[in-house]
Amino acid sequence: MRAHLKRRFEPAAGTGAFIFEPEQPLAFKAGQTCDIRIPEPRYQDAEGAVRTFSIASPPGSPELMFATRLTGSAFKRSLMEMPPGTVVEIDGPYGSFTLHQNAAKAAVLLAGGIGITPFRSMIADAVERNLPHDLTLVYSNRTAGSSAFISDLEAWARAHPRFHLVATITEPAPGEAWSHLTGLVDAAFLARHVRADFGTAIFYVAGPDGFVKAMAASVSSAGADPDNVRTEEFAGY
């Protein structure tokens, strides 16, 4: 399907968010992905002009938001420099990294950096539709400045009593404003800050490969049933 760029903004340092208007509404579930192809990219490299991105906007929105770390690849530079109105091709939706049905089981969402994208869609959707699920987001970034969408997440935590935000940074800079936690996410951190029944909760982990592997191990040693751990690895980081 064709879609045109409406606008872009930087939700955090080194991060770009892109709003596309598709030529017709895309039916998808929060957590799913799309492949974005730039037909005439300004820059080219060996990695080509197609990338998989999780949809960061909720299904109820007519626009599609995607967000990414600006790595300097030809694809990312082309995205950052394409003028509004530029047409791209969007294939999808794909994937089964979506919220479970049974609301009796809590959902614990673990995001590493840009891994926040599928969860931004899931949480916005849960708030919009007032879903009965108990949702806890554990969100880890290096710095406050690189913590994308933190103000959206804070607003949803205020608005929706079943959504709990546990945000942490691992490299706090002196004097940088940050009202959340600091420190690495590990089994002890999870036991301290996540109020869910680890034996029955469903865990969702998204982000760069290294983060996903470390978190899958941490939630298991914190008491999660490995069958209840779902992962989405963002290859390429």
Ligand X SMILES: Cc1cc2nc3c(=O)[nH]c(=O)nc-3n(C[C@H](O)[C@H](O)[C@H](O)COP(=O)(O)OP(=O)(O)OC[C@H]3O[C@@H](n4cnc5c(N)ncnc54)[C@H](O)[C@@H]3O)c2cc1C
The two structure tokens encoding residue 95: 């994937």
Select 106 or 153, whichever has its Cβ closest to ligand X.
Answer: 153
Dihedral pair phi/psi, residue 63, rounded to 5°:
-100, 155
User: Segment near ligand X (CB under 6 A), from 20-28, 69-77, 153-161, 167-175?
Assistant: 69-77
Interacting residue with ligand X among 114, 135, 138, 144 (CB under 6 A): 114
**In this chain, which stretch among 71-79, 98-106, 136-144, 158-166 interacts with ligand X, using CB under 6 A?**
71-79
**Of the candidates 18, 20, 32, 68, which one interacts with ligand X according to CB under 6 A?**
68
Site for ligand X in 138-197 (CB under 6 A): none
Q: How far apart are CA 223 and CA 205, in angstroms?
A: 15
Q: Taking a C-beta distance cutoff of 8 angstroms, is the pair 130, 92 a contact?
A: no
Phi then psi dihedrals of residue 42, to 5 deg: -65, -35
Tell me the HSE value of 165 on the side-chain side, using a 13 A CA sphere. 23
CB of 80 to ligand X, least distance (A): 11
Interaction residues for ligand X, span 74-93 (CB under 6 A): 75-76
199-218 positions binding ligand X, by CB under 6 A: none
Residue 219 C-beta: closest distance to ligand X, Å = 19
CA–CA separation, 188 and 140 (whole Å): 15
54 binds ligand X (CB under 6 A): yes
Q: Exactly one of 53, 139, 198, 211 binds ligand X (CB under 6 A); which one?
A: 53
Residues between 218 and 237 with contacts to ligand X, criterion CB under 6 A: 232, 234-237
Burial class of residue 62 in the structure, from the number of CB atoms within 10 Å of its CB (0-12 exposed, 13-18 middle, 19+ buried) = exposed
Cβ–Cβ < 8 Å for 206, 114: no
Segment contacting ligand X (CB under 6 A): 73-81, 125-133, 157-165, 167-175? 73-81
| Total residues interacting with ligand X, rule: CB under 6 A | 21
Q: Residue 42 and residue 194: Cα distance in Å, rounded?
A: 45
Q: How many helices (H) and strands (E) does the chain have?
A: 5, 12
Binding to ligand X (CB under 6 A): which residues in 22-41? 33
Q: How far is the CB of 124 from ligand X (least distance, A)?
A: 14
Q: First vs last Cα of the chain: how many Å apart?
A: 27
- Cβ proximity of 42 and 54 under 8 Å: no
Contacting positions for ligand X (CB under 6 A): 33, 47, 51-54, 67-69, 71, 73, 75-76, 95, 114, 117, 232, 234-237
